[in-house]
Amino acid sequence: MARVNIDLANDTKILARASKEDSAVMRIIAVETRKDSSSMKTIAILGMLFLPSTFLASLFQGPMMSWDAKGRPVTTAMFKYFCAIAVSLTLLFFSVWVVATLLPWEKLLYKRRRAPAAKDSYSLEHIASHSLESG
């Protein structure tokens, strides 16, 4: 009976060590996912920056710039409209994005407040680095 208990304790110790290693790996994955999320946000912002002018360029499709006989650039009146509308649409897109992401919608939409979630005193990077060092 004592031998069974010793074997069970050793197996439990091995399982606990494996669980600790898995937990450290999951923390690293969480940190990397957060970095990847940041990259995706950057791509979305750049898309918002260029999307309005690309859309307008396809609508205007006519020549907006040409060169005179001396090789100097000449713009048409359409180019001024293109710039004005593209800048306005870009500012509108960014304004909507800022309002959608930065305003506390939960507080604005729901009168009652939820209990704030407990915050950890350490960042994911700190926890992951210390878990790997101790394992």
Domain that holds residue 26: 2-111+123-134
Is residue 68 included in any domain, yes or no?
A: yes
End-to-end CA distance of the chain: 31
Strands 73-75 and 65-67: antiparallel
**Confidence band for 73, pLDDT divided at 50, 70 and 90:** confident
With a cut of 80, say whether residue 86 has pLDDT above it.
yes
What pLDDT, in 10s, does the model give residues 75-85? 887 888 888 98
Q: What is the pTM of this model?
A: 0.47
Four-CA torsion 84, 88, 90, 91, nearest 10 degrees: 140
pLDDT at position 14: 92
78's tokens? 């359409």
CB-CB neighbours of 94 under 10 Å: 14
pLDDT band, very low/low/confident/very high, at 114 (cuts 50, 70, 90): low
118 inside domain: no
Does the residue 61 lie in any domain? yes
Count of domains forming the chain: 1
Mean pLDDT on 118-126 = 57
Q: Is 98 domain-assigned?
A: yes
C-alpha 103/C-alpha 27 separation (Å) is 29
Q: Is 69 a member of any domain?
A: yes
Q: Does residue 13 lie in a domain region?
A: yes
Contacts of 93 (CB under 8 A, 6+ apart): 48, 51, 52
In a domain? residue 117: no
